[in-house]
Each structure stands twice: as C-alpha cells, then as structure tokens.
Structure 1
Amino acid sequence: MLITTCGAGFRGAIGHLVSIQLHHTRGARFHVSGLHWNHARHILARIHAALEVSGLPRPSGALTLHIGPAHVKPESNELDLPIALCLLAVAGAIDSNKLATLFSMGELALDGRLLADESNPSRANFTCSSTMVEAGLEINRCLVPMGAETWANRFFPSQLPTFHADHLSEAVDFLQNNIPLPRVPEVTDTCTFTDHWPTPQYDSIADSTGNKEALVLAAAGGHHAFILGPPGSGKTLMARSLAELLPNLTITDRAHLKHMHAMRNEVFHADDRIPFREPHAQSTPASITGAWNALGAMPGELALSHRGVFCMDEFPEFARNAIEALRGPLENGYIDLNRAQGSHRFPAKTLTVATANPCPCGHLTSRNNRCRCTPGTVRKYLSRMTGPLMDRFSIHIETQLDRGPAELSDISALSGKEAIRAISWVRAKKEMLTAPSSLGLDWEPGVKHQLHAWSQQRGVSRRGFESIQHVAETACLIEAWQHQKATESLKISENHMVLATRFRIFDQTEWLDRAFNPQWPQYHTTE
C-alpha cells in the first residue's frame, strides 16, 4: 500500500515543495529516506504522542517513509501534519485518495494542536525553490494551521482553497467526514508604497563647499563617495542623507533583499524604503562580504544593502583585509563567495559611502591649529586608504567645521524633493544610454584634451580617468534636467569637467600641502 501527499519542508530560508510517500507492508520495521534520521525520530515521537492523546489509531506493520526530492533533506517541523495524515491513512482513518491532491503543513504539539512558527524570520521571508507547476504536482486544496496561510500560497501560481485547522482531529474530520473548516480569504503579499522619503537630513546640510552638489551627483550617477573632514563637520549626516535621495526599490529588488534577509534570519519589512547598512568598524571581512555556514551561503552587509547605501563610517579603522575586500564588489556590483562547500553570487549594486578623519586626532584641516600630529603620522594614517581603492570612489568630498561664505551652485540650490526628481530622471536616462564606457554623450571641442592633460599632470590612473568622465556626464544630465534640454543635443562642457575634477582631492596634492601650511587658519579658495 502506497500513500502520497504533498507538504513543505524548509532548509534555512529556502522553502521546498516536497512529496511525502509512505509505503506499508507486513513486518515490523521503519525506514526513512530524504530526512536525517535524528530529525525523523523527533517527528515520529511527536506524531505518536499526538495520535495517542487525540484518540486516533496508530498504524502497525513495516513502513518506509520517503521525502522527495531526496537531496533537499528539510530540517523543519512543518512536515509533522502531512506525515501524520499518511500514517492515519495507513491505519484506515482517512481515505488515501483525498491526500493525493492535498497540500498540508504544520507542526504538531503533543496534545494534537497544530502550530505555525510565526515568529521565525526564516518562515516570514522564505523564498520557494519551486512552485506547484515546476514540481509537477496536482493540488486542489490546502490545509494549514492559523498563521501559515501566506506560506502555503507562496508555492502556488494562483490562490487555491485554503482551510484552517487548529487540531489534528479537526483535520481528520474535515477529510474523512466532510465537516467544514474555516476557509481563508484570498491573501496577497502586500507592500506599502510611498511617493518619496521626506528629506530632513539632506535639507539640514549647511552647504558652502559643494557638499550637496557632490551628494546629488553621487546619488544620480551611482558614484561611490568618500567624505573626509574633522569630527563634527557633518560627514555621517551627509552619508545618511544619501539614502533619502535614491529612487524607490523595484519589486525585483525587494524580492532579492527579502530573500537575503531571510538567509540571515532577519526580518525585511515589505516596503520600498532604501536599505541603509552601517557596520561597526570592528566588523570582520566575512560579516561584510558574506560567509558560509551549515545551511549554505550567508550574505554580508554589502549584499543586504543592494540598491541602497552601504556606509563605512570611520573607514581607516576597519581591518585592512575588510577594506581591501571591497575592491571587486565596488567595481562589479556583485560578490562571488567561493568556499570548499560551494560558490554563490550575491547582487551588491550598492552606493558605497565612506567617511574618515584627515589624521588620527581628526583636526588636521579644522583651521584652528588644534592638530598636533606630525606629517609622518598623518601620511602613515592616510596610507590605509590605498590608491587602487580610492580610484573606485568617484567622488571625494572635503568637509570643514568653520565654513566660509556660501556660494551655492545650481545643483546645490535644489531642495530635497527637487533633487529626488532630478536624480530619478538622470538614472532613467542613464539606463537608456547603454554604451558601456561613455553613455554616448559628446564632448565640446578641446575639453577631453584638457582632461587628459590634467590627468597626466597628476598621475591619474585609467580607472580614475573614466570615473571623472562618468561624473562629468552625470553633471551634464543634471543640467539638462534643470534647463529642460533634449538629450540628443547635450555636450559635456569645460564646466562639467572642472566640476568632476574638483571632487577628486586624492588626485591633488595641494589639499595636504595646505593642511601643513602655517597660514591654514585663513580661508583659501579651491584651485
């Protein structure tokens, strides 16, 4: 005699649609396939206790239980109910034909109550390895405990009749005696949408040195930003305000983030807010890029900030191997996690922003002669920010405590809401212009030659040169949005090029020379 039904097994954050088969013959043995034996023993102990307490028959004879596909080997308790129903069908308490098209899931308590672990983030955010159609199963109804209806419906392309059962005896009466159970109304995985974030942090930035201008450029072009300045000059505020400027998450991006949070047993709230991750400076490289555990690949902070902002506050305080691990993800937009157990690729198209003090005490550029660090100490401190890594930060921002007179540019004068609209427009245009290196925008005569000369004079690398090009193109598109210009007529001008080079302080030795100048307390204009 062979009994077949369908259920759900979980392994970490992945939900698997599984087939439960129970074969009965003469004898006195029990074999298990597709489950770890220790886990199977616990399931059978709960089921036998629940059957005895509920007054339901317990089958005898030789039994072979198979959970397929066999490679899944689920480690969850939601298989209690379908296995119990198969045992009851062998005992004659349920018609076995009714189980063939039934999907059921739920944990059994020893008194027969059906439970759903609603507090487990893995269950709240799991992703399905396959749907009903992909698994080749024919199911016409679902039987679940209260709280598990949304889990069941994720396996099916359309809503199936779903019924609630609070006790094993209720499930038996429903299947054998047609006693009705409460039917669950159709449930959809809803998401709360907002037009845009409020921008209190961005609007509160005091801008006199182009800080807002740099933030808008970074958000519009997806350029990684590095912010250098003394303590209290607004570096962290600027980094956090970037999340206010980015466009809303798409459905695909939310699905990626939901899955990756579930893999770490974290709850991801189903809304469109931009993720902002800010790991501590003592974080290990594995916590940033990802690791591997018994359940498989586990995403790090970079992957959890996909399509959002990844902030490394006090950048030089991070471990050297954690800093250098960023090279590939910053350039490629993904993380390849390769271990002996296997390999996995996490999407990590994040906007990375790092902040740092200019010296160990932080007051090198504060213009009040408070710094007592020697030039050798400062250079040793700055050497932690290696050239290849700084090349991957397209925009470098220098902040000050005491600012000079404000000279707002057109971009800096944008309000938070205007900046968001401009950024959304520029990002849409960049997606349309798909040329891999230069977006297809033309340059005014002689401007590119000036940029080549500037780069050669300062020893700018090829990667840094391309970064300057991309920032200049972003500045050109923002100007087009402001003045309602047609994209076809756009040309990158000298002003756009100068603006892009202004935010490359690590390609200019003047800023460090000025810091050591005894006349530093006086205001200096930027070359």
Structure 2
Amino acid sequence: MVQKIYCATKFGLHASIVEVEVSFNRALPAFVISGLASNAIQESKQRVHSALLSCGFAFPPLKIIINLSPSDLPKYGSHFDLPIALLVGMYKEKEELKHRWFAFGELGLDGALKHSNSLFGIVLDILLQEKDICMILPKESEKYFSLMPNLHCMYAENLQEALEFLRADQKPDSKQVELNFPFLEIVGEKYYYQEKFSLDFKEVKGQRIAKRAALIAASGFHNIVLEGNPGSGKSMIAKRVQYILPPLTLYDILHNAKINSWNQEEIKLVPQRNFKSPHQSASKASIIGSAANKEPRPGEIALAHLGVLFFDELPHFSKEVLEALREPLENNILALSRVNSKVTYPTSFLFIGAQNPCPCGNLLSTKNECRCSDREIAKYKNRLSEPFLDRIDLFVQMEEEYRGEEATISSLEMQKSVFRAFVMQKNRKQENFNGKMSDEEIEKFCVLDEQTQQILLQAQDRFGLSMRSVNKIKKVARTIADLEEKEHIEKRHVLEALSYRRI
C-alpha cells in the first residue's frame, strides 16, 4: 500500500498541487526523494530524520522512497518537511486515509513546526482550486489563515500532534473570523476599507487641477502622468492616491497579502491596496519579472496588481522598461515567455508617472531660467514613445507654486467621492474599473448622445486622436459622470475628459 498526502509548490504567482507518496522497499537502508526536488527539499531528509527520532519513531531497515508528483514540475520550499515526515511516520498504518489531506510546514530538529511566509499564498491558491479538503498547518500560522473561507484545518505545535491528527483522520470544522473594518455592501458583496490616512491630501496646498485629476484617476483606475517643476508636489500627490482608492473584497485583501508574502514582505490583512515605487536605476528583471524555468519571480509590475505602480522621474527609466509597460497597461496582463517556460502575471494596476518638463526642470518656470538646449529637451521628451504615451489617460501640468490660503480638500472627502463613483460602477453590474473596461464594456456603459458624439468626432479630426485615445476619453468621461452620480455621460463630462489629454 502506498500512502499519499498532498502539498504544493509555487510557480510565479500561482501554486501547483503536488502529490507526495511513500514506498518502503526491501533493500539496503536509504532515504531517497525523487521528483525534481530543490536543495531545500533534499536537505529535509536530515530534518525529518531528527524530528521523527524526537517523537520516538524507529526507522525500519528498509529503503524509503519519497516521490513528488508530477515529477517534471520543479518543487521548492521547506514546507515539504511536514508531509514527508507524516508519510514516513505512518509506516505501521495499514489503512488508507479516508480524507484528502494537505500538509505544510517546516520542521525543527526537535519536531517543532515552523511557519514560513510563502505558505499564505500557496494555501490560498489551493483553496481556490480544491473544495472539501483537510489541512494540517503549523500553530504559528493560525493568525494568518483565520480569514480564509472554507478552510478545514488542524493547527499543530509539533510533529507528534500532526501525526495524531492524521491517524484520527477526521475532517476538521471550518472556522472563519470576520474582518474588523468598515465596509460597503453593494449587490450582496462586502467591500472593506479603512479611514486612516498616513498621508493626507489636505497637506497638498493649491494644485486644484492636479488633485481633481488624481481623484478621477483613483475613481476609475486611469493611468496618469504629472508634469511640473521640481518641488511642485508631483510625488506628494502620487503617494497619497493609494489611501483614497476604491474598497476591497475579502478575496482582494487575501490576494494582496499573497503577493506580499511571496515577495518576502510582512503579511498584512488590511483593506489597503499595494503601492510600488521602483527606482529608475532598477534592473529590467526586477521591474518586469522573470520566467526562469527553475523559479519564476514576479517583478514590481506584477506586485502592483490591484494597487498603484508609481514611476518617479519617468523619462529616466530605461527604454526597455518603458516599452515593456505597453502590454500591461493595455491588456492588464503580462506574459513572459522563455524557451522552457511561460508565465502570465495579472497587472491591473493604476499607473502614475511623474516627470520634469526638461532635464534641468525649469522649462515651465516663470522665475528660474531653463539651462537646457532645444536638442537636450527634445532628447529628454523623446525617451517616452508615442505608443507608450497613447496608453496614458490623464496628463496634468502642475502649477508652478502655491499662493494664498486656498481651501484644500482632505483625503477623507476624496475617498467619499471615490466610493460614490465605485457604487455607481457596481450598481450597473460592471466588473472592471472604468479605466480597465474592454471594448465591449465601453460600448455598453459609455453611451454618448448625438451632440456629445459629434464633439468627440470633431476633437478626433482636429487633434488626430487614435481610436485608443477616443476610447480613453470615453472612459474618463464615464468616471467624471460617476463622480457626479449621473447615469448618462453629458457634454461637459467629455469636454473635461478632453482637457486632460496630451494634445
């Protein structure tokens, strides 16, 4: 009889189920692991051996073969310790397990079970793929998995407890803790948010147009580029957008935590979207990601999924990186292909770019003289290609300076406006944000009357707008109408959307 327990390994941003089976053969005593196991898994033989001895287990004088199936899939992670130890420890059991058991956990030499951050994403993916399964996890992991729905799990302090759970072979109850955050309930779905603003828009003085554009961008997930003199507030605005973004479902919160866990970051189960801001000197692989056959790794583009990707000093990023952004910005997906592997990462993020008008930054200044030649300015601007710029929804030129005590808007007020627009989108049963709508959704939700359509056609002829640009104007106009809680797009909404185009 061959006992089986299941585990999983991560590949890119997803997990693949692995069947762990054991065989005891009459031969010279040995302990063998097969199935493209990484060094960390091969080293588990020593940890498993020591942990089992600490439980009083006597190794039989047989050849123990552990097979990880599918055998052509590379496996990684120290969490394979537990399933391997359980199978060896069940040597004397003669009956097959009634339930489909999954086990994850790293073993200490004394048999203690240890948590690792990579477990979160793997377990979440398994729950989305499989139903009615039983799991054994380290007790230390319980605080991270309490929010996961339909999780039938036993938490063990050590290997001895895990063996007792497995021998009992009884399905655990599913227990789920509710999120302790305010939420909106729309069409039967809960969307969580928080009202803590570490950075507040009320700290940004002036810049009325830029803040209005940031509000539109946040409401519809529209890509935006801010251009202005050094110190005008571009980065201030960009860093505050993450706090006013639309609320998140429970799955979105878990997905964000999964991304962070696989990026070796702290797991935070909070309704706040990710914010990624790579430096312009970052390598292409760190931003785009890799599709290496051994262990694919997501880059900053994939890690920003459902959140914000901010490129400060936009023209200083390499040409390769900027051109590689074109597909993720347009299709909300990044496919990396190599000879032996192909990895696909979801990339539905809000892109924010910030740039100076020229290398010295004073081209638009009325006080400081620009030191750049026409050739230097042209070279600087040409770093951004037309196909890349055509994928940007909103272009904003910052005011040079702030004067007076102009009333400012707070992040709380902006968040409430974003939520109103979000409710409008969900009530019309729209799956994607306005800025991420497909052509079919544009036809359905961005209907224009004859007069408004004529204005858009005139703008298309006059400024030579591409069809992509026309669609982006429609989507921005839809968001502006949502902010006013208008069911239909009106003339003024299209005119405002046109004012944000780079013409």
TM-score, normalization by structure 2: 0.80
* Structure 1 residues 101-153: Cα deviation after superposition (integer angstroms, max 9, x where no partner): 6765554444xx223332x321244346646995998x6xx666542557999
State the identity %. Answer: 25
2:181 corresponds, among 193, 197, 208, to: 193
In structure 1, C-alpha distance between the alignment counterparts of 2:344 and 2:166, rounded to whole Å: 44
Correspondence list, 1:500-511, <5 A: 500-504=497-501, 506-507=502-503
Which of 136, 139, 158 is the equivalent residue of 1:166?
Answer: 158
Per the TM alignment, residue 354 of structure 1 is displaced from its structure 2 partner at its CA by 0.5
CA contact (8 A) 2:314 2:355 kept: yes
Aligned to 2:494: 497
- Aligned ranges 1:461-500 → 2 under 5 Å: 461-479=466-484, 481=485, 485=486, 487=487, 490-493=488-491, 495-500=492-497
Shift of 1:355: 0.6
Per-residue Cα deviation, 1:190-244 (whole angstroms, up to 9, x for no partner) = 6453444345522333345522221222222322111100011111111122222
Instruction: Provide the C-alpha distance between the structure 1 equivalents of 2:482 and 2:131, rounded to a whole number of angstroms.
Output: 48
Equivalent position amino acid for 2:113 in 1: A
Superposition pairs for residues 236-251 of structure 1, below 5 Å? Answer: 236-251=235-250
Structure 1 residue 246: Cα displacement: 1.3
> Residues 149 and 463 (structure 1 numbering): CA distance in 2 closer, same or farther, change over 3 Å?
closer
Aligned pairs, number: 480
Deviation at 1:52, TM superposition (A): 5.5
SS in 2 for 1:299: coil
How far did 1:395 drift? 0.9
- 1:34 equivalent in structure 2: 35
Give the equivalent residue in structure 1 for 2:284.
285
Distance across 1 between alignment mates of 2:128 and 2:278 = 39
CA distance in 2: counterparts of 1:132 and 1:368, whole angstroms: 59
Could you say what secondary structure the match of 1:303 adopts?
helix
Superposition pairs for residues 38-117 of structure 1, below 5 Å? Answer: 42-50=43-51, 56-72=57-73, 74-84=75-85, 86-87=87-88, 90=91, 94-97=92-95, 106-110=105-109, 113-117=110-114
- The alpha-carbon distance between structure 1 residues 105 and 238, as it changes in their structure 2 partners (threshold 3 A), is closer
Q: Which residue of 1 aligns with 2:455?
A: 450
What residue identity is the alignment partner of 2:413? Answer: S
Q: Deviations over 1:336-379 (max 9, x none)?
A: 11122321221111111101000111111121143222333222
Q: Distance in 1 between matches of 2:174 and 2:149?
A: 12
Report what 1:147 is aligned to.
140
Query: Take 1:450 and 1:175, find their aligned partners in 2: how far apart are those partners?
Result: 70
| Structure 2: segments with no counterpart, 5+ residues | 183-192
Choose 286-295 or 362-371, whichever is displaced more. 286-295
> 1:67: Cα distance to partner?
3.6
SS at match of 1:57: coil
Change (3 A) 1:66 1:153: farther
- In structure 1, stretches of 5+ residues that fail to align are 508-527
After TM superposition, the structure 1 = structure 2 runs for residues 330-479 of structure 1, keeping only pairs within 5 Å, are 330-403=329-402, 415-428=413-426, 431-432=429-430, 435-479=440-484
Deviation string 1:174-194 (CA, Å, 9 cap, x unpaired) is: 989x9xxxx999754764534
Show the counterpart of 2:189.
none
Contact 2:9–2:75 (8 Å) recurs in 1: yes
Q: Quick check: 1:265 aligned with 2:264?
A: yes
Task: Look up the match of 1:305.
Answer: 304
Deviation at 1:437, TM superposition (A): 3.0
C-alpha separation between the residues in 2 aligned to 1:440 and 1:37?
Answer: 50
Contact 2:3–2:97 (Cα < 8 Å) also in 1: yes
Q: Assess, with a 3 A threshold, how the Cα gap between structure 1 residues 126 and 262 changes in structure 2: closer, same or farther.
A: farther
Shift in alpha-carbon separation, 1:431–1:282, aligned structure 2, 3 A: farther
Distance verdict in 2 for CA 1:268–1:146, change over 3 Å: closer
1:265 to partner: Cα distance:
3.2
CA shift in 2, pair 1:239/1:71, >3 Å: same
Code of the residue aligned with 1:476 in structure 2: it is: A
Whole-angstrom distance in 1 between the partners of 2:163 and 2:211: 66
CA RMSD of aligned residues (A): 4.1
**Counterparts in 2 of 1:69 and 1:451: CA distance versus 1, 3 Å:** closer
Question: Structure 1 residues 257, 25: closer, same or farther in 2, change over 3 A?
Answer: same
Give the 3-state SS of the residue equivalent to 2:95 in structure 1.
helix
Whether the 8 Å CA contact 1:59–1:87 is kept in 2: the answer is: no
